[in-house]
A and B are shown apart, each in its own frame.
Chain A
Amino acid sequence: AQSVSQHNHHVILSEAASLELGCNYSYGGTVNLFWYVQYPGQHLQLLLKYFSGDPLVKGIKGFEAEFIKSKFSFNLRKPSVQWSDTAEYFCAVNPSYNTDKLIFGTGTRLQVFP
Chain B
Amino acid sequence: EAGVTQFPSHSVIEKGQTVTLRCDPISGHDNLYWYRRVMGKEIKFLLHFVKESKQDESGMPNNRFLAERTGGTYSTLKVQPAELEDSGVYFCASSPALSYEQYFGPGTRLTVT
List of A residues within 8 angstroms of B59 by Cβ: 101
The answer to whether the Cβ of A73 comes within 8 Å of any Cβ in the partner chain is no
Interface size classification for chain B: 20 to 34
Cβ-closest chain A residue relative to B6: A43
The answer to whether the Cβ of A102 comes within 8 Å of any Cβ in the partner chain is yes
Q: A90-B43, A100-B31, A107-B42 are in contact. Are A32 and B100 (CB under 8 A)?
A: yes
Total contacting residues, chain A, CB less than 8 A: 24
The answer to whether the Cβ of A51 comes within 8 Å of any Cβ in the partner chain is yes
A45 to B56, CA, bound (A): 23
List of B residues within 8 angstroms of A45 by Cβ: 104
Q: Which of B25-66 contact A (CB under 8 A)?
A: 31, 33, 35, 40-45, 48, 55-56, 58-59
Q: A99-B56, A100-B56, A100-B100 are in contact. Are A42 and B45 (CB under 8 A)?
A: no
List of B residues within 8 angstroms of A44 by Cβ: 91, 93, 104
A104 to B44, CA, bound (A): 7
Number of A-B contacts (CB under 8 A): 56
Q: Which of B54-89 contact A (CB under 8 A)?
A: 55-56, 58-59
The answer to whether the Cβ of A12 comes within 8 Å of any Cβ in the partner chain is no
14 A-B residue pairs with CB within 8 Å: A36-B104, A44-B91, A44-B93, A46-B103, A49-B100, A49-B101, A100-B55, A100-B56, A100-B95, A102-B102, A103-B45, A104-B35, A104-B44, A106-B42
Q: Which of A63-114 contact B (CB under 8 A)?
A: 90, 92, 94, 96, 99-107
Cβ-closest chain A residue relative to B105: A43
A101 touches B104 (CB 8 A): no
Q: How far is the CB of B43 from chain A (nearest CB, A)?
A: 4
A46 touches B56 (CB 8 A): no
A100 to B35, CA, bound (A): 13
List of B residues within 8 angstroms of A42 by Cβ: 106
B33 touches A101 (CB 8 A): yes
A101 to B31, CA, bound (A): 10
